Copies of this chain bind each other. A is one copy, B any other.
Amino acid sequence: MSHREESVATIQRELTSFARRARATAAQLHPELSLVSFTLLAHLEDEGGCRATDLAAHYLLDKSTVSRQIAGLERLGFVERRVDPADQRVQVLHLTELGARTLAQVTASRRVALQERLADWDEADLDRFAGYLRRYNAGR
């Protein structure tokens, strides 16, 4: 196995291991907002509102799954729907004020945990790690 292949194998192993734990970690940190709900809210924040179909495409979920997730988030008062005047079928989803506040809280508590974990990394390493992750995720 070449050096290159070994690196790829390591990346594979570590990413898998991370993915596997992510759900449980998220659930422990804030039981009120699952990993999926959290990412949906975050996406709404980033995009400043989007359609359910967009969420489904972006997160590789079935539209029925998104429909139910959104219904739950609406029940919690975190998102609201605004019918697109140009197309009555479309519901543009937006964060409510409460949704934005909750998202901010959860993001902050996650960040604290992450900061602790990365406490002994120096700034240059953090910067490069962040860059690699961004590059990896962009590559699709």
| Least Cβ–Cβ distance between A56 and chain B, in angstroms | 11
Report A25-52 residues with CB < 8 Å from chain B CB. Answer: 25-26, 28, 35-36, 38-39, 42
Copies in the complex: 2
- From known contacts A24-B59, A123-B3, infer whether A118 and B16 are also in contact, taking CB-CB under 8 Å: no
Q: Which residues of B contact A36 (CB under 8 A)?
A: 20
Interface class of chain A by DSSP? helix
Cβ contacts A to B, 29 pairs, < 8 Å: A3-B127, A7-B127, A7-B129, A8-B111, A8-B114, A8-B115, A8-B130, A10-B130, A11-B130, A12-B107, A12-B114, A14-B133, A15-B18, A16-B22, A16-B35, A16-B38, A16-B42, A17-B39, A17-B137, A18-B136, A20-B35, A24-B61, A28-B60, A117-B140, A118-B139, A121-B135, A128-B132, A129-B129, A129-B132
